[in-house]
Amino acid sequence: MMTDTQQQLSKTTILLHWLVALLMIALLAVGIYMTENKDYSLYGLHKSFGVVVLVLALARVAWRIKNGWPLAAGNYKAWEHKLSHIVHWILIIGTLIMPISGVIMSSMGGHNVPLFGFDLIPANHDPANPQAVLARNAELGEVAEAVHAIVGYLLILCIVLHVAGALKHHIIDKDGTLMRMKGKRIDFNS
Ligand code: HEM
Ligand code: HEM
């Protein structure tokens, strides 16, 4: 399998980046929308796509551990490297914390974890009142719910910073950072 070089990123890196980025942005928006509006019809899809992100994010982390991080496509100051590296770590760990906290929140609260119509974890129905569910561990469920919300908002902040950084490279520095993540081979002059 092709690995990342300074001139060109691998298909694996590019495919995983844009798939996870798209799904994360959509899930953050849908998560806030459905919670604010108590739109329970969206919960099943939110959870299912969240489980898909978990699988993709695990593959991504394995790929990063094996392959390391892409080298910078320009000559930057030490603080710029540091800031982008911190943001990349938060983003990639966030893509694991969000689905894991979601699964813990739902299952411990007694709700189901579906994957498009198939229950990975079924709801814990109350035998005395089958309409209602019984928490499996209410305290753990509430902690996970808080983590899901707080990390969600932290991630939105980091994504704004991350996209601003990508646009700064493209528009102000006029370097190949963004084009390289779009699959283009770039010339790197050190
Ligand atoms: C429209 C939105 C986005 C744009 C334009 C964008 C752009 C980029 C670019 C140009 C790079 C390469 C940086 C480098 O060469 O050092 C990059 C890397 C990265 N991005 Fe994004 N990104 C976006 C959304 C996201 C989202 C939503 C996430 C995660 C939640 C994310 C996570 C990462 C990570 C972890 C890296 C490090 C390299 C890797 O693991 O693939 N990005 N992004
Ligand atoms: C993987 C990426 C995911 C992202 C980015 C994400 C994002 C969000 C966000 C931003 C909210 C709104 C939080 C609030 O304002 O209180 C939310 C709510 C929620 N998420 Fe996720 N989520 C993800 C995965 C999951 C998964 C895998 C599950 C369950 C299996 C899940 C279950 C829920 C539930 C049940 C709520 C509603 C919480 C409430 O009613 O208080 N999420 N999500």
In a domain, 36, yes or no: yes
In a domain, 30, yes or no: yes
Ligand 2 centroid–CA 168 distance in Å is 31
Average pLDDT of 94-121?
Answer: 98
In a domain, 3, yes or no: no
Structure confidence by residue, pLDDT tens digits, 46-90: 999 999 999 999 999 999 999 999 999 888 899 999 999 999 999
In a domain, 79, yes or no: yes
If you write DSSP's letter for every residue of 84-144 in order, what string do you get?
HHHHHHHHHHHHHHHHHHHHHHHHHTT--EEETTEEEE---EETTEEEEE--SSHHHHHHH
Q: Which residue(s) pair with 121 in the sheet?
A: 113
Structural domains in the chain (count): 1
pLDDT category, 1, cuts 50, 70, 90? low
CATH of residue 87: 1.20.950
If you take atom 10 of ligand 1, which residue's CA is the nearest one? 178
The domain of 46 spans: 11-181
The predicted structure's pLDDT at residue 2? 82
Position 190 pLDDT exceeds 60: no
In a domain, 6, yes or no: no
